[in-house]
Amino acid sequence: MAVIKVFLYLFIYPGLVFLFIYSTFCEWFDRKLYARLQNRMGPVFTGKAGILQPVADFFKLLFKEDIVPEKADRIIFSSLPIVGLATVVTAGLYLPLWNFDIAKTTFNSFQGDIIVVLYLLSLPTLIFFLAGWHSTNFFSTIGGVRVLTMLFGYEVPLFLAILSPAVVADSWRLAEIADFYQKFPFLLFFQIIGFLVAIVSLQAKLERTPFDIPHAETEIVGGTFTEYSGRKLAFFRLMTDIEMVVGSGLIATVFMAGFPGGILLSILRFIIKTLFVIFLLSLIRATFSRIRIDQMVNFSWKYLAPLAVAQLLISIFVKGMIQ
Per-residue confidence (pLDDT) for residue 103, from 0 to 100: 47
Per-residue confidence (pLDDT) for residue 41, from 0 to 100: 86
Give 141-165 pLDDT, tens digit per residue. 888 888 888 888 899 999 999 999 9
Say which residue, 67 or 186, is predicted with more confidence.
186
Helix (H, G, I), strand (E, B) or coil at 227: coil
Residue 9 has pLDDT above 80, yes or no: no
Q: In this structure, how many other beta carbons lie within 10 angstroms of the beta carbon of residue 186? A: 7
Name the residue among 50, 52, 20, 56 with its Cα closest to residue 35: 50
Give 115-138 pLDDT, tens digit per residue. 999 999 999 999 998 888 888 888
Give 209-232 pLDDT, tens digit per residue. 898 888 877 777 777 888 888 899
Per-residue confidence (pLDDT) for residue 56, from 0 to 100: 93
Name the residue among 120, 128, 214 with its Cα closest to residue 162: 120
Residue 253 has pLDDT above 90, yes or no: yes
Please state the separation of Cα 47 from the chain's center in Å: 26
Ramachandran class of 261: left when φ > 0, alpha when ψ lies in -120 to 50, beta otherwise: left
Residue 37 has pLDDT above 50, yes or no: yes
> How distant, in Å, are the alpha carbons of 59, 70, 95, 130 from that of 125?
25, 24, 20, 9
Is-contact 145 132, C-beta < 8 A? yes
Q: What is the DSSP letter of 8?
A: I
Give 98-111 pLDDT, tens digit per residue. 655 554 555 578 88
Residue 30 has pLDDT above 50, yes or no: yes
Give 12-22 pLDDT, tens digit per residue. 777 888 999 99
Ramachandran class of 305: left when φ > 0, alpha when ψ lies in -120 to 50, beta otherwise: alpha
Average pLDDT over the chain reads 88
Residue 65 has pLDDT above 90, yes or no: no
What's the pLDDT band for 1 if we cut at 50, 70, 90? low
Residue 139 has pLDDT above 90, yes or no: no
